[in-house]
Structure 1
Amino acid sequence: MMAGWWFIAALACMALSALFAALVLSLHTLSRVRMASELQDCDNEHTTARVQSILVDVPGHAASLSILRTITRLAGAVCLIYWAAGMRHEDTPGLISIIVGLVVGAVLIWFISTLIPMGIATHAGEHTLIRLAPIVRAAYLLFVPLLPVRKFTDEVVRRLVGAEKNGREINISASDLRAIVEDDEVESRLDETERDMLEAVVEFRSTSVEQIMTPRTEIDALQYTDDLSEVMEFVNEHGHSRIPVYAEDLDHIEGVLYAKDLLRWITTHGKDGSPFILKQVLREPTFVPETKTVRELLAQLLAAQVHIAIILDEYGGNSGLVTMEDIVEEIFGEIQDEYEDPEDSSGNVELDLDANAALIDARTEIDDANDELESIGIELPESDDYDTVAGFINTTLGRIPETGEQIQLGAMRVEILEAEPTRVMRVRVVRAESEPDAIDAQNSPK
């Protein structure tokens, strides 16, 4: 009979442990933005005051609750040991009873006091803290005398690992920033350009260089030559200040030619009859993997004081290049210089609202295209198999289409306006009623 009561007491201790664990995890993963949003719906001034007091010292409240979590877990383990002893009709727990109690306790702690609290903290952390704010504050006030021990331990660990002492900081995650940008009140105060910039900053940390690079097929690169006139003609024709130079093919980059270095050589050596050797004016290329984030690449380029990087795929081949301008454009949007044709920019979408149609540069990413096409009721399918409009078309057909072909996809028709043997250049998308999910390539080669 007593064994049953010991087991019930153990479950009660584990339940309390789960409660304290959920509160600790909620404090560790606290989003101040979501908390502020939750408090807006709270009419109880006392609750609001308690929550604000918690936010003043989040680590201290978490440490106090951790003490209660530890106590209840230990109490639950002791109860389980006596439960096991009762099941074996022992007055004093023996070795086997202790082992059984600890094993059962470990399983219950893992399930009741770990998995369940993690789910609560993930899906309802801020709401739980608001509802149970009195318990959080009571635990804090109860263990205030022990908090200096936590601060002392934290300081010792900081010095042992050699970390710098930081002032008081407020950490805001990417999800918090995104929530701020999407907030109706904030959004109404921002114009479209400001919103786009803030959203770009939020995504900056996770964006890979592969997503913003100029692909290999569009790189303007110079094949190695010591013919000065040929080099000057290439520079004048393309108007780039930095040009990759390759040997046999783009997988063998010899270096990067800076137009200012070429000009400096011409002014210093061009008049004295010195032979021109291109390799002498080339700079070492910077190679980075396509999985590197834009944030990491920016730090690397700034540290090395270079403005261009060659992107390598997993096999060591050249998959594209990224310039400092590409990184800046990722935040501030398209920057057009005097050498660029306004009508030939990647990511261009021209809407024809009257015809429910749009002209799209096939290099445009699906997400960007859908943002524009939303106004005419069209949405291109998204998939992990492709990133751009051209990728969508090639994947849908299973081949590279020719100019003049059409793809009928449900209530949408895609017309190929311009294509080369190796890629699609420009398309026209029209909203046209058709049988759902119907795919038909018209005017395709026989």
Structure 2
Amino acid sequence: MDEIATSTLLIILGLLLLLSAYFSGSETGMMSINRYRLRHLAQQNHAGAKRVQYLLDRPDRLIGLILIGNNLVNIAASAIATVLCIRWFGDAGIAIATFGLTILVLIFSEVTPKTIAALHPERVAFPSSFILKPLLTIAYPVVVGVNFITNGFMRIIGVNPNNTLGHAALSSEELRTVVNEAQSMIPSSHQDMLLSILDLEKVTVEDVMIPRSEISGIDVQNDFKSIIKQLSQAQYTRLLLYRGEIDDAIGFLHARDIMQIVTKTNSDTDKAELIRAAREIYYIPEGTPLNVQLLKFQHNKERIGLVVDEYGDIQGLVTLEDILEEIVGDFTTSITPAPSDLVKPQDDGSLLVEGNANLRDLNKELNWELPTDGPKTVSGLIIELFGDIPQQPMCMRIEGYALEIIESSESMVKQVRFLPFESRHLEQQNLFD
């Protein structure tokens, strides 16, 4: 070493610092690259992406290769810097080399290249793979040996290295974050649909079903002329046929069957033919998540079903369109009242809300935060919290929302006035005035 010229040692030191910067930047670039974009580019036969994906299939070997190279050049640079500083400063050169090289390595071989690689991982990772892939082949025995020792040590301390080799799929909450952060690349309408799809697992059929009291059907015990009149004026493509009460359901009548029936004369048809035309009922257990029910509709080739509780009592009706509306929004052809039809703004800033208004729909349309983990309607929520059917006039506060009972009956709260928007900022509590 003493025979090598100082200028030569300086050139070698500079090259070693560059190599150290290369290994540091490559490590950060490889580890920071977007794995899902990388997979997409690899599927598009992007050469650089395919090389990087090959290297990342075994990240332990890639990291081992980079660290071996980085430590070799750093140790070599330390030795050369020490020789140079001893030549220049004598025995004090050892301390000067230690502190001086530390600063040089931090600035030029660590912080700067790693920051650049973190900001532009693809620009660093793709070119680096040209060198790292063949270098891994050359140094394969050394890398495997080092990994064998380190993996064995990790097992001794209770860490399974195999758990760190792959990358877990994104959870629904992580996907939600990705969609929210992709606002500039995804139209807002598409973004809303994607988020709605992710929400399907949190929403059950009870949240979107038509309540039992609002199910439109035909009672076969009615006068036959009255039945024919109901069929001719039907607004739905499917009608429930029942005997006396909804719980004694017979089946669904399809629009095609209804058309054939109403076009016949009374002498050509009777109630028996009406019952024979009814199609078998598809039952849905309450509490079924919408994502599960959507797949069941598809698997069973069904579009409509009755929601039943654990005792078999009918609670409501759910259609395929109800689930699709959770994803794409309300259809313009829907004749079900929209939340806006059940909410009437007043001049003083308050809102008159019908008691049968759905809580989830109100929260979505008005950006409210009424509790939805229990009752599904405004009336049900008030009755549950009050413990009885309140009589007007009465005021109360629910989760910070001040409201006044305007109209109620013996069985439900019919109309409620929510006080002006500022009441939302009151301290959230379940207190009755």
1:298 lines up with 2:298 in the alignment: no
Secondary structure of 2:247 counterpart:
coil
State which drifts further: 316-325 or 345-354: 345-354
Query: Where in structure 2 are there 5+ consecutive unaligned residues?
Result: 1-23, 39-52, 63-117, 126-132, 145-166
Which residue, 178, 186, 194 being the options, matches 2:190?
Answer: 194
Which residue, 339, 350, 353 being the options, matches 1:357?
Answer: 350
Which residue, 396, 399, 404 being the options, matches 2:388?
Answer: 399
| Cα 1:64/1:243, change in 2 over 3 Å | farther
Aligned to 2:14: none
Indicate conservation of the 8 Å contact 1:347/1:368, yes or no. Answer: no
Indicate conservation of the 8 Å contact 1:347/1:361, yes or no. Answer: no
| Cα 1:386/1:58, change in 2 over 3 Å | farther
Give distance in 2, aligned partners of 1:410 and 1:204.
Answer: 25
Query: Where in structure 1 are there 5+ consecutive unaligned residues?
Result: 1-42, 66-126, 147-168, 442-446
Identity %: 24
Indicate conservation of the 8 Å contact 1:225/1:231, yes or no. Answer: no
Aligned to 1:180: 178
| Cα 1:270/1:423, change in 2 over 3 Å | same
Equivalent positions of 1:194-233 (< 5 A) are: 194-225=190-221, 227-233=223-229
CA-CA distance at 1:384 after TM superposition: 3.5
Aligned to 2:268: 273
CA-CA distance at 1:247 after TM superposition: 2.0
Give distance in 2, aligned partners of 1:57 and 1:353.
Answer: 64
Flag the structure with larger Rg. 2
Give distance in 2, aligned partners of 1:411 and 1:299.
Answer: 38
Per-residue deviation, residues 218-245 of structure 1 (Å, max 9, x unmatched): 2122222374322222234552221112
Give distance in 1, aligned partners of 2:395 and 2:339.
Answer: 22
Secondary structure of 2:259 counterpart:
helix
The one-letter amino acid paired with 1:390 is S
| Cα 1:53/1:399, change in 2 over 3 Å | closer
Per-residue deviation, residues 92-120 of structure 1 (Å, max 9, x unmatched): xxxxxxxxxxxxxxxxxxxxxxxxxxxxx
Secondary structure of 1:222 counterpart:
strand
Aligned to 1:239: 235
Aligned to 2:281: 285
Secondary structure of 1:414 counterpart:
strand
Aligned to 2:249: 253
| Cα 1:177/1:360, change in 2 over 3 Å | farther
TM-score (norm 1): 0.55
Per-residue deviation, residues 323-357 of structure 1 (Å, max 9, x unmatched): 1221121111122437x37xx33575747597443
Aligned to 1:61: 58
Aligned to 1:320: 316
Indicate conservation of the 8 Å contact 1:181/1:199, yes or no. Answer: yes
Per-residue deviation, residues 299-328 of structure 1 (Å, max 9, x unmatched): 333344332101111111111110122112
Indicate conservation of the 8 Å contact 1:64/1:143, yes or no. Answer: no
Secondary structure of 1:319 counterpart:
strand
Indicate conservation of the 8 Å contact 1:348/1:364, yes or no. Answer: no
Secondary structure of 2:417 counterpart:
strand
Aligned residues: 300
Aligned CA-pair RMSD: 4.3
Which residue, 413, 416, 425 being the options, matches 1:427?
Answer: 416
The one-letter amino acid paired with 1:384 is D
TM-score (norm 2): 0.56
Indicate conservation of the 8 Å contact 1:244/1:253, yes or no. Answer: yes
The one-letter amino acid paired with 2:203 is T
